[in-house]
Chains A and B, each alone.
Chain A
Amino acid sequence: DSGVTQTPKHLITATGQRVTLRCSPRSGDLSVYWYQQSLDQGLQFLIQYYNGEERAKGNILERFSAQQFPDLHSELNLSSLELGDSALYFCASSVVPGGGSPLHFGNGTRLTVT
């Protein structure tokens, strides 16, 4: 158990809809990261927060947004969903941002857009 909790585990929704994915980081970790894994693809970095502030952005679409709350949990909002947004979305946390500090991943949310 990594200590990172992601909810829900599965989400099925229709095109054009909006969903929210939730992540609770490991106790004591201040950095939260969001990654997207599409079929047979690697992990694509979306966005990183550190202690409530956005620190780095990857290939995150404008239809996607995220935030980290004062209690350090984070939410990833996906809107105007398209079929291509179907993927596994992972949240990870670490004590400090990057470097050799390993990330601890949750078990992911599988999003299916129909």
Chain B
Amino acid sequence: DQQVKQNSPSLSVQEGRISILNCDYTNSMFDYFLWYKKYPAEGPTFLISISSIKDKNEDGRFTVFLNKSAKHLSLHIVPSQPGDSAVYFCAASAKYSNDYKLSFGAGTTVTVRA
């Protein structure tokens, strides 16, 4: 079941401009949201996370915004750099009994143009 959706499979942005990646979710039990970045032939790497009790978290050029009422989060990358070209996965974590399950979106491929 697709509890986490990334409706834009790809995004092209000019170097130096802002990249905005969107993610929607359906499960109100999600309490943590994470973004992962993946280069070809490598595994995903953790980028940034946000707890459901916050609405913004910033780390350098990366900022994640959470709108719980809309069940929507976004990742802003400012300014975009060529090395940011990768696949970005949105993920959400929910606790079931004593365990957490992490659900991933299908990913958004970002291409930063010089």
- Looking at B6, B101, B102, the one whose CB has the most chain A CB atoms below 10 A away is B102
Q: Which residues of B contact A106 (CB under 8 A)?
A: 43
Q: For the side of the interface on A, what is the size category?
A: 20 to 34
B43 engages A105 (CB within 8 Å): yes
Within the complex, what minimum Cβ distance (angstroms) separates A106 from chain B? 5
Partner of A45 from the list B43, B89, B98, B101 (CB cut-off 8 Å) is B101
Docked-complex contact A48 and B99, CB < 8 angstroms: yes
A98, B43: Cβ atoms under 8 Å?
no
Q: How far is the CA of A39 from the CA of B21 in the complex (A)?
A: 21
B residues with a Cβ closer than 8 A to A are 4, 6, 9, 31-32, 34, 36, 41-46, 49, 51, 89, 91, 93, 95-96, 98-107
Can you add 11 more A-B contacts, CB < 8 Å, to A92-B43, A99-B32?
A4-B43, A35-B104, A43-B91, A55-B98, A56-B99, A56-B101, A98-B95, A98-B102, A100-B51, A107-B41, A107-B42
